[in-house]
């Protein structure tokens, strides 16, 4: 058998059962990452939020020590074989800045995702006024605000709102708003994620889609790759397809974060480092 190339890439977005809608331990995800010839995984489960916000989709604040222990146990188990790091996917909405600042700065996180989740009931209740286009505009404004907080390394799945009301997703109607948001995100030097899980949603394309990816490339905003696995089998899912999409929309590099420091990898090098699942 030919020797696989040196592992290089990290899976930068994945979950644990603590969020109540994912299955498998970080070790189960790590086993798939090894098969894919990744260098490591960054566990980024949904963060605890205050006052019961979206409580059904995340760990409780009291479970935080369990999260640290879960990631540490897998990291020890895979030491010398796969690098397992602690990260977090944080919900962002205006008003949560102080809470998040404290949560993020008090923990040794390697990669912090900032997510606007327009499907969350509490968010929808506050910001949906019955007009789906206005909701899309609010979403992109909040995404830019998230970047401007400087709290996050990467903005997750940054066109997630398109699946809230797929029939109302017509890019030309909101493209100027998206461009303005991307200008602000570029100025904030925050990375954005290409999230491959979008292929399994009602609008079957990655988040974001190709038109937005082109606008991102024009602004030289760094891209991070994530499968957003809620099941071990999806670790690094469709990464090859994602790299091809990035190249075809004008991107030259993919990035990951360790110790909250950004590492660029040329796309051809990234592609060559991956092994398909048997």
Using the CB atoms, write b or e for 39-65: b if 16+ within 10 Å.
bbbbbbbbbbbeeebbeebbbeeeebe
Could you tell me the smallest distance in angstroms from the CB atom of residue 7 to Zn ion? 26
Could you tell me the smallest distance in angstroms from the CB atom of residue 150 to Zn ion? 20
Longest dimension (CA), the chain: 59
Kindly tell me which of 156 and 163 has the beta carbon lying closer to Zn ion: 156
Which region among 75-83, 90-98, 101-109, 111-119 touches Zn ion (by CB under 5 A)? Answer: 111-119
Nearest position to Zn ion, beta carbon: 115
Q: Per CB under 5 A, does 12 bind Zn ion?
A: no
Q: Per CB under 5 A, does 115 bind Zn ion?
A: yes
Q: How far apart are CA 188 and CA 143, in angstroms?
A: 11
- Closest by Cα among 49, 45, 43, 50 to 21: 45
- Closest by Cα among 159, 113, 152 to 135: 159
Which region among 64-72, 149-157, 171-179, 213-221 touches Zn ion (by CB under 5 A)? Answer: 149-157
Number of other CB atoms surrounding residue 210 within 10 Å: 12
Count interface residues toward Zn ion (CB under 5 A). 2
Kindly tell me which of 156 and 196 has the beta carbon lying closer to Zn ion: 156
Q: Angle at which helices 132-148 and 171-188 pack, to 10 degrees?
A: 10
Which region among 34-42, 109-117, 146-154, 264-272 touches Zn ion (by CB under 5 A)? Answer: 109-117
Q: Is 258 helix (H, G, I), strand (E, B) or coil?
A: strand
Q: Per CB under 5 A, does 195 bind Zn ion?
A: no
Which region among 75-83, 128-136, 154-162, 219-227 touches Zn ion (by CB under 5 A)? Answer: 154-162
Q: Which residues bind Zn ion (CB under 5 A)?
A: 115, 156
């Amino acid at each position: 058998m030919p020797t696989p190339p040196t592992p290089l890439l990290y899976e930068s977005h994945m979950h644990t059962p603590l969020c109540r809608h994912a299955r498998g331990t970080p070790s189960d995800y790590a086993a798939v990452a090894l098969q894919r010839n990744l260098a490591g995984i960054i566990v980024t489960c949904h963060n605890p939020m205050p006052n019961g916000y979206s409580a059904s989709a995340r760990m409780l604040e009291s479970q935080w020590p369990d999260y640290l222990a879960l990631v540490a146990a897998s990291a020890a188990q895979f030491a010398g074989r796969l690098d397992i790091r602690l990260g977090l996917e944080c919900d962002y909405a205006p008003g949560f800045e102080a809470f998040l600042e404290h949560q993020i700065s008090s923990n040794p996180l390697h990669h912090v995702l900032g997510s606007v989740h327009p499907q969350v009931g509490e968010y929808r209740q506050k910001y949906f006024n019955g007009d789906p286009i206005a909701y899309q505009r609010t979403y992109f404004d909040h995404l830019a605000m998230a970047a401007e907080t400087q709290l996050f390394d990467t903005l997750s799945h940054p066109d997630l709102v398109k699946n809230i009301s797929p029939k109302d997703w017509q890019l030309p109607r909101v493209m100027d708003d998206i461009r303005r948001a991307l200008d602000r995100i570029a100025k904030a030097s925050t990375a954005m994620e290409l999230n491959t899980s979008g292929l399994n949603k009602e609008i079957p394309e990655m988040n974001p889609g190709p038109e937005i990816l082109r606008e991102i490339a024009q602004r030289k905003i760094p891209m991070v790759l994530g499968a957003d696995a809620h099941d071990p089998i999806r670790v690094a899912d469709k990464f090859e397809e994602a790299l091809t999409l990035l190249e075809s929309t004008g991107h030259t590099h993919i990035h990951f974060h360790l110790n909250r420091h950004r590492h660029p990898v040329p796309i051809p090098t990234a592609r060559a480092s991956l092994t398909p699942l048997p």
